């Protein structure tokens, strides 16, 4: 029964994602990710005005006259989804959990990659590496990724973004487009974020829930930390303002880390549509790319 429900959920997500990709999203994806790199295409004889730095020394030596390397835009990309599946992702005070938002966003981006004939892979993590799906082309691999996010049964509960980034860089050394999807409720990952952004095209998708940002003044509330399982009783009337300030400080610190690492950032919330923030990010990035 559970398998049937999961298959139905994956299928519904596939239909929804394909509809969005076909109607509004594929052009956004293609406009900012295609043609990022170059790859070797062929050689030809040197002509006056050619850049001497492109001379192929080996071919030149064999032929006895100068030849240069020609390059073409790299048309195929590798897209990696770095997915936080720690216990805090199973929280949501509205209609969807953070993990469900993560699955939908990953599905939308993955089907955009499929439409553009790119490879897609995944690394899910808690405070350890949970699951690795090798980047491949094709619908079946994307459905594996979506299924894994929706049906994740991690061994760990806590979060280590630093360990996840180290694992990513150890496995995939060639430049990739990396979507890091998390609530970023972690510390001491800035150094690895900076290192990763220098190697890959890194985009951080931060998902939060409104109840994590502020709490209503309704008296005593029992609260549980999903990662440590610690339960405490608090007086919401007394701590509402300090709770709000603590979360503001957390977001300020996180934003500063993103800025210092020079990564792309998309902020999402469980009570709002993720479509507009995604399109806004891609349009702004396309504009910056065009100006550059």
**Which pLDDT score, from 0 to 100, does residue 236 have?**
58
Q: Which of 13, 48, 73 is the last residue of a domain?
A: 73
Task: For residue 175, give every residue at least 6 positions away whose Cβ sits within 8 Å of its Cβ, in sequence order, or none.
Answer: 37, 78, 199, 200, 201
Q: Does 155 lie in the same domain as 133?
A: yes
Per the DSSP assignment, residues forming a β-bridge with 80 are 121, 178
Whole-prediction pTM value?
A: 0.79
Provide the H-helix boundaries in the chain: 2-20, 26-33, 57-63, 98-115, 139-150, 161-171, 190-199, 210-213, 236-261, 275-291
Q: Does 83 lie in the same domain as 22?
A: yes
Return the CATH number at 224.
Answer: 3.40.50.410
Number of domains composing the chain: 2
Task: Identify the CA nearest to 53 among candidates 66, 72, 36, 35.
Answer: 66
**Which pLDDT score, from 0 to 100, does residue 217 have?**
59
Q: Does 18 lie in the same domain as 120?
A: yes
Q: Does 145 lie in the same domain as 52?
A: no
**Which pLDDT score, from 0 to 100, does residue 1 have?**
43
Domain that holds residue 49: 38-73
Span 142-177, pLDDT tens digits: 999 998 888 888 999 899 999 999 999 999 988 899
Name the phi and psi angles at 12, rounded to 5.
Answer: -65, -40
**Which pLDDT score, from 0 to 100, does residue 2 have?**
45
Q: Does 97 lie in the same domain as 67?
A: no
**Residues with pLDDT less than 50, the chain:** 1-2
**Which pLDDT score, from 0 to 100, does residue 150 have?**
85
């Amino acid at each position: 029964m559970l398998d049937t429900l999961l298959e139905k959920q994956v299928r519904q997500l596939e239909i929804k994602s394909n509809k969005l990709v076909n109607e509004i999203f594929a052009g956004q994806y293609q406009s900012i990710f295609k043609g990022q790199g170059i790859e070797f295409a062929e050689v030809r004889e040197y002509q006056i005005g050619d850049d001497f730095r492109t001379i192929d020394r080996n071919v030149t030596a064999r032929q006895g006259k100068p030849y240069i390397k020609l390059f073409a835009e790299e048309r195929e990309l590798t897209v990696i989804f770095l997915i936080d599946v720690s216990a805090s992702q199973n929280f949501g005070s509205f209609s969807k959990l953070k993990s469900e938002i993560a699955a939908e966003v990953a599905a939308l981006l993955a089907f955009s990659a499929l439409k553009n004939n790119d490879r897609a892979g995944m690394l899910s993590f808690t405070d350890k590496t949970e699951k690795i799906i090798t980047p491949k082309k094709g619908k079946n691999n994307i459905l594996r990724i979506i299924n894994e996010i929706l049906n994740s049964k991690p061994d760990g509960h806590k979060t280590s973004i630093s360990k996840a980034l180290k694992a990513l860089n150890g496995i995939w050394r060639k430049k990739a487009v990396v979507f890091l999807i998390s609530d970023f409720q972690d510390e001491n990952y800035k150094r690895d974020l900076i290192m990763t952004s220098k190697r890959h095209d890194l985009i951080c998708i931060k998902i939060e829930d409104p109840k994590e940002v502020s709490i209503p003044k309704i008296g005593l509330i029992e609260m549980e930390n999903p990662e440590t399982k610690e339960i405490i009783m608090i007086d919401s009337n007394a701590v509402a303002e300090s709770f709000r300030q603590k979360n503001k400080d957390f977001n300020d610190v996180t934003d500063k880390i993103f800025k210092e690492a020079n990564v792309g950032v998309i902020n999402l919330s469980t009570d709002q549509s993720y479509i507009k923030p995604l399109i806004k990010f891609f349009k702004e990035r396309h504009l910056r790319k065009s100006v550059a």
